[in-house]
Amino acid sequence: NPHLEKMEEDILYHFALGTGTHDFPALFGDVKFVCVGGSPSRMKAFITYIAEELGLGSPGYEYPNICAGTDRYAMYKVGPVLSVSHGMGIPSISIMLHELIKLLHHAKCSNVTVIRIGTSGGIGLEPGSVVITRQSVDATFKPQFEQVILGKTVIRSTDLDEQLAKELMQCSKEINQFNTVIGNTMCTLDFYEGQGRLDGAICLYTEEEKLRYLKEAFDSGVRNIEMESSVFAAMCNLSGVKGK
């Protein structure tokens, strides 16, 4: 964004951080991996787990929330790993990603990999399986993210890094703890009707219609459903960040 260079100070409102009040290179300059997920408590548990796996920090250490000045998102850091919550749905993760990408820019980070982790609804898979996303598709199975900007519809690609998918699959084979597949992830605009659920407050379709739709999704290559992957993929592509 060329407009950023004209700003005396860039305030990341929803992180409660700013270039005028925080030394971004000192705080985040060593970041190489960013893991994002919906729940603040889950991302806190994740950073504790990663610290133990990497042999960093002390057992039982209470990692501080870097974004404690706001209740919008939570952020934790250990070594080169940043763990950030993004809430639920495209609008929430979009806001977080705008500020995260700017944070990495101001911190002068390089060769950063961003991975979204979280629960999702599986299609044709046993519970507990892990899906590594090849590309995100919309509810009509198209690999695109559609957004209205200045009154005009803009369509952006949702392909994700293919080499990173292969590397993650290889890691899964070496760990050999989970059934892991590479497939497409369908990103929907809501949790109930958008995902064909029968237990929402409103449901104007039959169970047979739902099952027919899910079979069409599976036949198109979809293996799981969630609500954030499309804008995640689009923004990673546009900003040059390796994402998965």
Distance of alpha carbon 124 from its chain centroid, rounded?
Answer: 23
Give me the pLDDT at residue 58, please: 80
| Residue 156 assigned as binding residue | no
| Residue 72 assigned as binding residue | yes
| Residue 118 assigned as binding residue | yes
Give me the pLDDT at residue 244, please: 77
Distance CA 59, CA 1 (A): 41
Residues in a beta bridge with 51: none
| Residue listed under structure tokens 């900003």 | 239
Our separate counts of H helices and E strands in the chain read: 6, 13
Give tens-digit pLDDT for 61-93: 899 999 999 999 999 999 999 999 999 999 999
| Residue 119 assigned as binding residue | yes
Distance CA 159, CA 180 (A): 19
| Residue listed under structure tokens 């610290």 | 51
| Residue 223 assigned as binding residue | no
Distance CA 150, CA 76 (A): 35
What domains are defined for the chain?
1-118 (3.40.50.1580), 119-243 (3.40.50.1580)
| Residue 153 assigned as binding residue | no
| Residue 134 assigned as binding residue | no
Give me the pLDDT at residue 59, please: 80
Give tens-digit pLDDT for 211-234: 999 999 999 999 999 999 999 999
The pLDDT profile of the chain, 244 residues, written as one tens digit per residue, is 999 989 999 999 999 999 999 999 999 999 999 999 999 999 999 999 999 999 997 888 899 999 999 999 999 999 999 999 999 999 999 999 999 999 999 999 999 999 999 999 999 999 999 999 999 999 999 999 999 999 999 999 999 989 999 999 999 999 999 999 999 999 999 999 999 999 999 999 999 999 999 999 999 999 999 999 999 999 999 999 988 7
In b/e form, how buried is each residue of 116-151, taking b as 16+ CB within 10 angstroms? bebebebbebeeebbbbbbbbbbbeeebbbeeeeee
The SS3 call for residue 62 is coil
